[in-house]
Structure 1
């Protein structure tokens, strides 16, 4: 209906009576590279303006509610480092000092702007001396160091908290079925991850009464059998809060496949990067909207993250790994000037309007369009619509009892917001 009048043409209708997952938020990662650029390559005024734009909700702020940090180095670091370089099972030299110069201050500043910001932490590798290669590059965690590595992650959670950085979510390994040859990484099969979560890290978190939630997998859509293997283990399942996914292989429907098998476990989408391989604005914008902003959420995600918030004009700084990745924004390392990229505009369609605690609800969507709908905690309605076709689309948008006409150009998106019906 349109103010009580029946709608006969194409219509996107939100149904408040079909509630689905509750949202944590949208955002991107504060990598070492991002934090370095923000803290060392921008003036104080530039830094504050950018962080307010990314994490604030006033004016044109994106309102990011969710972010991710690396525990130790990733490829987007200034060097390869762990938080315990000395071989010592007592971890007497453990220190978060490498993260205290750039990363922790950036997250604290973001939290000052958005105190509701949720933080996920992920290691790319255990310290090299705990691994089969003796290096942070390639290899596997030695079983005799499982207990020590659980202590390592617990020390990180405590030290980060002391620095004013919470760890709301933790995954035990980034991309555990990949051993990169030029930056930290570590292969870790489902059986080993299940043992570690169920017998080491999970019980420690429980004993300490910590609210940090464990996410398994943190890798691509193409291997749903991996997180299913962990969740099939009763001891691990007790401590796994949800499954995290990346975009680089497979199809987003894998998220629903695993969720259907374990509907009490949360779904998060935690990494995807744009880059020079997807330079065309239209194509990469439409892909991001279809697969991440709409697709990941349609497939149960409570939170959606891009990879680097910011990289420089040379796709860095980085230490190995991706040499042509793109940040949500590009910071000119010489001037501090900011360029907003495709992913910035795609994520803004969600993060500016969907509040933390919003409930996703069902929407009916006509052929040729993609849409996802929400009800915010204040009762306001949000519907995000993508027209990924080469033709203009005309339709109605609303909910039962009232709707309004809309026209969406080809290969574009729009976000529609209205207040709670009286």
Structure 2
């Protein structure tokens, strides 16, 4: 992942550009590039606008391409394929034959089903409303090889808070979240799960 091209565009025509879109087709996606880009261009909005969902991916790959960018100043993230049929189509010749939509339509039966990726993205799109602000946090751990425990917290326009927690480990984790004001919330996070806590506004 490289910021050279969007930076060149901004340097040449910054008065006409206020938003940058990122895709995730690099061999190894280093979302920290978005933080570096933000530090140089703090008034430019960033979005992740193209990552694929596929039955060949790990169960948590969708979480990674939503949470990773948003931990690094992205304002949002969307999937490349919103809907597909049971053959991962339709698509243009040479297009992605393994990209499955968030919703899969069985054209023969006239029915549709929602995939795991649909519900994983829904943890953010349903519980983190427009206008929410991501909070700086510590405590996330990534040991590599998919072994990670990560959390993001948000404050919503009405003052309520949302915490989204990814647990890739094969065991439950008891989590305590402590806010800057000293308030704490604790609970169990099930193994291999994405969990969302909705918390009231801070007291006082």
Measured against the shorter chain, the TM-score band is 0.7 to 0.9
User: Do the aligned residues in 2 keep the contact of 1:294 with 1:384 (CA within 8 Å)?
Assistant: no
Question: Whole-Å Cα distance in 2 between the matches of residues 394 and 331 of structure 1?
Answer: 38
What is the TM-score normalised by the length of structure 1? 0.44
Question: Whole-Å Cα distance in 1 between the matches of residues 18 and 198 of structure 2?
Answer: 31
Cα-to-partner distance string for 1:320-353 (whole Å, 9 max, x where unaligned): 1112210011011122322211211210111111
Residue 302 of structure 1, CA deviation? 0.6
- Which residue, out of 305, 311, 329, partners 2:84? 311
Name the SS of the counterpart of 1:317 in structure 2.
Answer: coil
- Find the structure with the greater CA-based Rg: 1
Aligned to 2:122: 348
Relative to its length, the structure with more helix (as a share) is 1
Aligned to 2:105: 331
- Which residue, out of 10, 27, 31, partners 1:252? 31
Question: Whole-Å Cα distance in 2 between the matches of residues 418 and 333 of structure 1?
Answer: 41
Question: Whole-Å Cα distance in 1 between the matches of residues 174 and 200 of structure 2?
Answer: 22
Aligned to 2:163: 383
Question: Whole-Å Cα distance in 1 between the matches of residues 125 and 138 of structure 2?
Answer: 22
Aligned to 1:322: 96
Question: Whole-Å Cα distance in 2 between the matches of residues 396 and 276 of structure 1?
Answer: 33
Name the SS of the counterpart of 1:303 in structure 2.
Answer: coil
- Which residue, out of 183, 190, 196, partners 1:409? 190
User: Do the aligned residues in 2 keep the contact of 1:308 with 1:328 (CA within 8 Å)?
Assistant: yes
Aligned to 1:373: 153
User: Do the aligned residues in 2 keep the contact of 1:227 with 1:243 (CA within 8 Å)?
Assistant: yes
User: Which protein has greater RCO, CA pairs closer than 8 Å, 6+ apart?
Assistant: 1
- Which residue, out of 239, 244, 247, partners 2:16? 239
Aligned-pair RMSD on alpha carbons? 1.6
Q: 1:212-227 alignment to 2 at 5 Å?
A: 222-227=1-6
User: Do the aligned residues in 1 keep the contact of 2:66 with 2:78 (CA within 8 Å)?
Assistant: no
Question: Whole-Å Cα distance in 2 between the matches of residues 403 and 260 of structure 1?
Answer: 31
Name the SS of the counterpart of 1:314 in structure 2.
Answer: coil
Residue 366 of structure 1, CA deviation? 4.8
Question: Whole-Å Cα distance in 1 between the matches of residues 97 and 55 of structure 2?
Answer: 9
Question: Whole-Å Cα distance in 2 between the matches of residues 398 and 329 of structure 1?
Answer: 36
Cα-to-partner distance string for 1:209-240 (whole Å, 9 max, x where unaligned): xxxxxxxxxxxxx232111111222xx11111
Question: Whole-Å Cα distance in 1 between the matches of residues 110 and 186 of structure 2?
Answer: 42
- Which residue, out of 181, 199, 202, partners 1:418? 199
User: Do the aligned residues in 2 keep the contact of 1:312 with 1:332 (CA within 8 Å)?
Assistant: yes
Residue 403 of structure 1, CA deviation? 2.1
Q: Which runs of 5+ in 2 are unaligned?
A: 142-147
What is the TM-score normalised by the length of structure 2? 0.87
